[in-house]
Amino acid sequence: MKKRLKIKDIVLIVLILAVAAGSWLLHEALGSAGSGVAVVRVDGAIEGTYPLNEDREVSINGGTNILRIRNGRAKMIEADCPDQLCVDQRAVSADNESIICLPNRVIVEIQSRQESEYDAVTN
């Protein structure tokens, strides 16, 4: 009888942890997928800012680079640069992650909308 109760307790604790972890993961997924923007810079100047929660393809720098935003992530899918390093880079979604195309002077940087809060905490 004692043993059965103990197992029940463990099951209960595991269930509570699973629910907590699940809601945390859900919160994280929703937060990271919907809260960021991709800032596109060409030669240092901001050419455009695009929310990660809207799927689209963006023609950058008059078409030298094509950025695809899908499922909360940004990825360079086409570029006319000789090294193709930017196309080889993995999709970015987290704050301060970036894709850089040096030959075309294109920088795509992810910025979280909670940046001001983040700054307030660190300063």
Stretch that binds Zn ion, among 2-10, 32-40, 48-56, 77-85 (CB under 5 A): 77-85
Query: Residues with Cβ < 8 Å from 78, sequence gap 6 or more?
Result: 65, 66, 87
79 binding Zn ion? (CB under 5 A): yes
Stretch that binds Zn ion, among 9-17, 40-48, 76-84, 89-97 (CB under 5 A): 76-84
Buried-state track 54-81, b at ≥16 Cβ within 10 A, e below 16: eeeebebbeebbbbebeebbbbbebbeb
Shortest spacing between CB 80 and Zn ion, in angstroms: 8
Shortest spacing between CB 98 and Zn ion, in angstroms: 13
Distance CA 101, CA 79 (A): 8
101 binding Zn ion? (CB under 5 A): yes
Indicate the residue among 48 and 103 with the shorter CB distance to Zn ion.
103
